[in-house]
Amino acid sequence: MNLDSKIYVAGHRGLVGSAITRNLQENGYTNLVFRTSGQLDLTKRDQVDAFFEEEQPEYVFLAAAKVGGIVANNDFPADFIRDNLMIQTNVIDAAHQNHVKKLLFLGSTCIYPKLAAQPMREDSLLTGELEPTNEAYAIAKIAGIKMCQAYNRQHGTNFISIMPTNLYGPNDNFDLNSSHVLPALIRKFHEAKLNNAPTVEVWGTGTPKREFLYSDDLADAAIYLMNTYNGSDLVNVGMGKDISIKELAEKIGKTVGYSGAIVFNASKPDGAPRKLVDVNRLKDLGWTAKISLDEGLEMAYTWFLENIEKNTMMTN
């Protein structure tokens, strides 16, 4: 990408899209194109076609998606598979029809089998059954990967796919009913601290292990790969190290300054026992993560205090 290349970031206000946008702007890219979901409904093909015909972007970061945590995925599977399939299909095909030079599709490590060998390699895709609680979302993302590969093979497009691990950072979703585990725990511990609550309940047994990547690191990797990688093979993006939910809860409690007890509710679902990605392909391509979990948690909590907590106080 040249600094004046026309770049469309789909989903620019979300966790991933906002991080990509920040990184592009900080690195001097000046010709960025955005639309809010109110201005452009990516599930509507006529709107997507009109946008691409009008703007003619050269590069596309497809970071728009319907996302949620274990509760939202489990409760609304039809919404997750429908919306994500429509968004992906519309944007990927419009990118081809309008001769986009390159598109980067953002998947998720939930595409891998529930019991995939750890760490999960890219070639473990479609080798086993998915985690049932987010199967609908995972199937939509797998379809997006396969669509990019099919368009590359049939039409000679340059559409690449990257699979980020669990992400967190600015513009994350802190709603306890629909968020992922890390932002949910930040909010839980913060509110427990404010209310002097003696305990904080954490879903599950605390034994599952998860990997977490700060969103600015993911953005850096995405832009690096957009500029350097061409190929249909998907690329994992992660830290290459994981942590148990119990250890994560303890770290977040320490970051927030909560001194009460942590109680694990084993009647709630754990999800997959472990989700660690193999990042050797990414390392071979020349990129490694830079922001440690401790540093990232401090930054995420600071952002929460400056944005979510401040807004909550203003509306109460």
Residues with catalytic function: 137
Q: Which residues contact 269 (CB under 8 A, 6 or more apart)?
A: 70, 74, 133, 203, 204
Distance CA 117, CA 124 (A): 8
155 is in an annotated binding site: no
104 is in an annotated binding site: no
Coil, strand, or helix at residue 167? strand
> Residue by residue, what is the 3-state secondary structure of 57-70?
CCEEEECCCCCCCH
Rg (the chain; Cα; Å): 19
15 is in an annotated binding site: yes
203 is in an annotated binding site: yes
Exposure letters 159-174 (e unless 16+ CB within 10 A, then b): bbbbbbbbbbbbbbbb
Distance CA 11, CA 111 (A): 20
166 is in an annotated binding site: yes
Q: Is 235 left (phi over 0), alpha (psi -120 to 50) or beta?
A: beta
Distance CA 202, CA 245 (A): 9
Single-letter code of the amino acid located at 131: E
144 is in an annotated binding site: no
190 is in an annotated binding site: no
182 is in an annotated binding site: no
91 is in an annotated binding site: no
210 is in an annotated binding site: yes
285 is in an annotated binding site: no
270 is in an annotated binding site: yes
Annotated binding site: 11-17, 106-109, 141, 164-167, 180, 188, 203, 210, 270
Annotated binding site for NADP(+): 11-17, 106-109, 141, 164-167, 180
Binding site listing for substrate: 188, 203, 210, 270
